[in-house]
Amino acid sequence: MSFLSKVKSQILIVARPLVRWLRPAPLNQLRPMSRRWGHERGTSIGRWYIDRFMERNRNDITGVVLEIKNRRYCDSMGHDVTVADVLDVDRNNTNANIFTDLAQADCVPSEKYDCFILTETLQFVFDLNSAIQHAWRILKPDGVLLVSVPAISPQDKELAEVDCWRFTPRGCKLLFGNVFGQENTHVEPYGNFASSVAGLSGIVVEDIPIEELQTYDSMFTHGVLVRAVKR
């Protein structure tokens, strides 16, 4: 280390506590406002993007539909739905009628579904390749898979023991593209610094101007949406 660098590092050692004392970071920026995605106050940031993605693709939600945990998007966005199945690994889920780990879903018949809505679930599935293979297998030809996965997100306390992954746009393109074909896989990353920090902090959509959510900054991808078609 040169003499100048040594002097600089000594100055920094002395100056840092002084700067911290003169300009302390506001404590409200260092603690989350909510440990439940802000559910107690409004719409979580991630959900705002997922809802819009589903609205854009609502034409796909038709015929024989499968969803995870409940019929949230099937009921709110579907049209001409003839069957609405709900899959969950959790046997206590009274909304579900198919109980299996998605990575071992051999009990679900092949080519059954026109649409599979797979939101906020793959982070809990260790064997992603197997789960995506099953998603492909159970879709009819031309069937559509609609996916959302988190990129920057707190851990769900209730599911922390099975929480395995966070995702990037590139990772999703490869994961889904390798099974559905790159040309049949459309990946839409979303979010920016504001949405990611707000999402971590439990700030909700009602708290901030919507314009803050509308731009995408690839340095701070908040989550990834995927539409994949079985050709």
Q: Which of 69, 71, 166, 186 binds ligand SAM (CB under 6 A)?
A: 69
- Strands (E) located in the chain: 63-68, 81-88, 98-99, 113-119, 139-150, 185-190, 223-229
Q: Which of 51, 101, 207, 217 binds ligand SAM (CB under 6 A)?
A: 101
| Residue 162 engages ligand SAM in binding (rule: CB under 6 A) | yes
Q: Which of 45, 61, 64, 68 binds ligand SAM (CB under 6 A)?
A: 68
Contact between residue 55 and residue 68 where contact means Cβ atoms under 8 Å apart: no
Torsion of CA 230, 190, 155, 54, to 10 degrees: -50
CA distances from 125 to 14, 17, 91, 197, 223 (A): 48, 44, 16, 25, 17
**Smallest distance from ligand SAM to CB 7, Å:** 53
60 vs 120, which CB is nearer to ligand SAM? 120
- Size, binding site for ligand SAM by CB under 6 A: 15
Contact between residue 179 and residue 154 where contact means Cβ atoms under 8 Å apart: no
The pattern of x and - marking residues 111 through 140 that bind ligand SAM according to CB under 6 A reads --------xxx--xx---------------
Q: Degrees (nearest 5) of the Cα angle 114, 101, 104?
A: 80
**Smallest distance from ligand SAM to CB 180, Å:** 19
Of the candidates 72, 112, 65, 57, which has an alpha carbon nearest to the alpha carbon of residue 228?
A: 57
98 vs 174, which CB is nearer to ligand SAM? 98
Q: Which of 45, 86, 102, 179 binds ligand SAM (CB under 6 A)?
A: 102
Which residues of this chain interact with ligand SAM, rule CB under 6 A? Answer: 68-69, 88-90, 101-103, 119-121, 124-125, 156, 162
